[in-house]
């Protein structure tokens, strides 16, 4: 498999258990942080804008990152539930280190897949149905031009958690070649993705029509430079059939995020976007506790589903569906989420949008 290098921002996000009992969803605040795994702070997501930088490289073992980049998040809402005013959660005594988002994910990469991320667990569960639906639509849209390769981007691939799902999807035996490009700005995350996806070489042996390319790049160039093109600096900047972007939006202002998304998806192409729900983001945000017991966090925005859907429409997308997800007791009882999830029961933690490009 090929592993060029050009990528941008933070993608997957993890959370901490802040409040002892969140079955009362309005006054639920996390209490003690669990230093053994990734955590969301007891500070709400903030606004602001980081300064990303781009770097380009090529190689299966993705070279070390040269520049550091940071990505913020705006707050947005959906046509569904309105985010309640949760107030200011209590501060934890655990020391907090604020880093550029890229540096946060570089430091997080080695434990990102194993630190007990409850939002990632919910995302995996929801994607078990949403991702096949998305890929089916992408395949249908490509049938109009059977000689053209099917091109899919994982925007903010992180450690390749969902890139692996795209690669292992059962594509039709007779159909176009499938080109998967995974983009991220964190060299540390891409190094983990390169190893993980490299171990999936059997996929391309069984189905040689599937190709993979990893690229390190600034996925959202307008965050650091509003006058820049929103198109990431990638090997092939032409538009694609589908873009998957999971747990990335939290770190990017809505306008910048959808400017890039619209620049990547062709007309009648599709996008699948998932994110931390604003109800959770108003209480906590992505981060982790390092080996010194310090909470490390980057930049975050508490986007609401409604605002996200509105921004998507403004960027030329039709909103096919919006789904919001609360944490339920059954998620803990069935083992989908660890006991850490009890603090989030009754709270909306996740939402996802399925979009079609119409303009």
The pLDDT-based confidence of 70 (bands split at 50, 70, 90) is very low
Q: Where are the domains of the chain?
A: 4-357
**Residue 209 confidence (pLDDT):** 85
Top-confidence residue, 83 or 334:
334
Average pLDDT in the chain: 76
CA angle (61 as vertex; 59, 67 as ends), nearest 5: 80
**Residue 175 confidence (pLDDT):** 81
- CA dihedral sign, ordered 266, 268, 273, 277: positive
For residue 10, is pLDDT > 80? Answer: no
Encode pLDDT of 75-126 as tens digits.
433 334 334 444 444 455 677 666 556 556 665 556 566 677 899 999 999 9
For residue 133, is pLDDT > 70? Answer: yes
CB atoms within 10 A of CB 330: 10
**Residue 12 confidence (pLDDT):** 35
| CA 274 remoteness from chain centre | 7
Q: Burial, 293: exposed, middle or buried (Cβ in 10 Å; 0-12, 13-18, 19+)?
A: exposed
**Residue 68 confidence (pLDDT):** 38
φ, ψ of residue 271 in degrees (nearest 5): -135, 140
Q: Burial, 170: exposed, middle or buried (Cβ in 10 Å; 0-12, 13-18, 19+)?
A: exposed
Token output for 94? 């655990």
Q: Please report which helix (H) or strand (E) contains residue 275, including its range.
A: strand 265-276
For residue 336, is pLDDT > 90? Answer: yes
CB 343 within 8 A of CB 20: yes
For residue 350, is pLDDT > 90? Answer: yes
The rounded distance, in Å, linking the Cα atoms of 70 and 63 is 19
The rounded distance, in Å, linking the Cα atoms of 49 and 251 is 9
**Residue 5 confidence (pLDDT):** 39
**Residue 176 confidence (pLDDT):** 86
**Residue 229 confidence (pLDDT):** 97
The rounded distance, in Å, linking the Cα atoms of 175 and 44 is 46
Q: Does the domain formed by 4-357 have CATH 3.40.50.150?
A: yes
For residue 274, is pLDDT > 90? Answer: yes
Q: Per mean pLDDT, which of 87-91, 279-283, 309-313 is the most reliable?
A: 309-313
Encode pLDDT of 142-198 as tens digits.
876 666 889 999 999 999 999 999 999 998 888 889 999 999 988 888 988 998 998
Q: Which of 182, 169, 163, 184 is nearest to 137 (CA)?
A: 169
The pLDDT-based confidence of 320 (bands split at 50, 70, 90) is very high
Out of 65-74, 216-225, 233-242, 252-261, which region has the weakest mean confidence (pLDDT)?
Answer: 65-74
The pLDDT-based confidence of 199 (bands split at 50, 70, 90) is confident
Token output for 148? 């053209």
Q: Which of 116, 109, 122 is nearest to 7 (CA)?
A: 109
**Residue 141 confidence (pLDDT):** 87
Q: Please report which helix (H) or strand (E) contains residue 165, including its range.
A: helix 161-168
State the angle between helix axes of 305-314 and 254-264 in degrees (0 to 180), rounded to the nearest 10. 50
**Residue 265 confidence (pLDDT):** 98
**Residue 64 confidence (pLDDT):** 39
């Amino acid at each position: 498999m090929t592993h060029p290098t050009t990528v941008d921002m933070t993608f997957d996000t993890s959370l901490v258990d802040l409040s002892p009992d969140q079955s009362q969803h309005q006054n639920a605040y996390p209490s003690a942080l669990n230093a053994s795994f990734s955590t969301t702070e007891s500070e709400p997501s903030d606004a602001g804008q980081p300064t990303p930088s781009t770097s380009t490289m090529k190689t299966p073992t993705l070279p070390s990152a040269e520049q550091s980049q940071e990505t913020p998040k705006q707050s947005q809402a959906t046509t569904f539930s309105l985010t309640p005013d949760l107030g200011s959660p209590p501060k934890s005594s655990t020391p907090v280190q604020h880093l550029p988002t890229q540096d946060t994910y570089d430091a997080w990469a080695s434990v990102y897949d194993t630190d007990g991320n409850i939002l990632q667990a919910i995302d995996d569960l929801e994607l078990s149905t949403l991702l096949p639906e998305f890929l089916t639509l992408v395949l249908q849209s490509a049938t109009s031009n059977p000689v053209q390769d099917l091109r899919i981007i994982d925007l903010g691939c992180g450690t390749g958690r969902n890139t692996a799902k795209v690669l292992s999807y059962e594509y039709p035996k007779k159909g176009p070649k499938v080109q998967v490009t995974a983009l991220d700005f964190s060299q540390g995350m891409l190094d983990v993705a390169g190893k993980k996806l490299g171990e999936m070489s059997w996929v391309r042996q069984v189905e040689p029509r599937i190709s993979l390319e990893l690229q390190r790049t600034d996925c959202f160039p307008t965050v650091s430079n509003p006058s820049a093109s929103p198109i990431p600096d990638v090997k092939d900047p032409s538009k694609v059939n589908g873009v998957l972007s999971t747990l990335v939006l939290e770190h990017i202002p809505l306008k910048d995020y959808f400017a890039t998304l619209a620049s990547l998806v062709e007309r009648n192409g599709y996008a699948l976007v998932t994110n931390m729900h604003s109800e959770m983001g108003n209480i906590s945000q992505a981060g982790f506790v390092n080996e010194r017991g310090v909470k490390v966090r980057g930049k975050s925005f508490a986007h609401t589903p409604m605002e996200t859907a509105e921004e998507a429409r403004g960027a030329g997308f039709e909103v096919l569906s919006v789904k919001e997800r609360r944490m339920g007791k059954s998620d803990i009882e069935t083992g989908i989420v660890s006991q850490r999830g009890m603090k989030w029961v009754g709270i909306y933690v996740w939402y996802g949008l399925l979009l079609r490009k119409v303009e």
